[in-house]
């Protein structure tokens, strides 16, 4: 099954956060400020984000995985991969959090 589109609300429900942009060029071109969607897994330094879009965009989403600290793109993400990647990164992020907590309890 090929997934070509997903609603904005579904992405928000999945945990993506909207970030409004102060993009004067985009505003002059289309009359609306831009925004992007992102989700971060800070303990593993991984984020998933969309490029800047406008309110009038066609809402065909493009996402990529990137390193949070450098913003270097690791690879593009297909929409059908999003749920599995979010689950995977959430598990890994929680594992690191658990190990960190355990270390704090053990180490003086």
> Domain total for the chain?
1
- Residue range of the domain that includes 27: 8-106
- Greater model confidence, 89 or 30: 89
Q: Is the pLDDT of residue 98 over 80?
A: yes
Segment 8-41, tens digit of pLDDT:
899 999 999 998 877 666 666 666 667 889 999 9
Does the pTM surpass 0.85? The reply is no
Domain presence at residue 1: no
Q: Is the pLDDT of residue 1 over 50?
A: no
Segment 41-64, tens digit of pLDDT:
999 999 999 987 765 556 678 899
Domain presence at residue 62: yes
Domain presence at residue 95: yes
Distances in whole angstroms, Cα of residue 75 to Cα of each of 32, 52, 56, 90, 105: 29, 17, 26, 18, 37
CA distance 96 to 43: 6
Q: Is the pLDDT of residue 107 over 60?
A: yes
**How confident is the model at residue 23, as a pLDDT?**
65
45: its two tokens: 């330094």
Q: Which residues have C-beta within 8 Å of that of residue 72, sequence separation ≥ 6? A: 66
């Amino acid at each position: 099954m090929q997934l070509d589109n997903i609603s904005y609300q579904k992405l928000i429900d999945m945990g993506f956060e909207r970030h409004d942009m102060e993009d004067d060029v985009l505003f002059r071109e289309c009359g609306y400020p831009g925004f992007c969607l992102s989700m971060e897994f800070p303990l593993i330094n991984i984020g998933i984000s969309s490029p800047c879009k406008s309110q009038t965009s066609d809402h065909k989403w493009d996402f990529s995985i990137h390193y949070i600290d450098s913003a270097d793109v690791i690879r593009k993400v297909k929409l059908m991969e999003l749920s599995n990647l979010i689950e995977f990164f959430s598990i890994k992020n929680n594992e690191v959090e658990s190990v960190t907590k355990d270390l704090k309890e053990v180490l003086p």
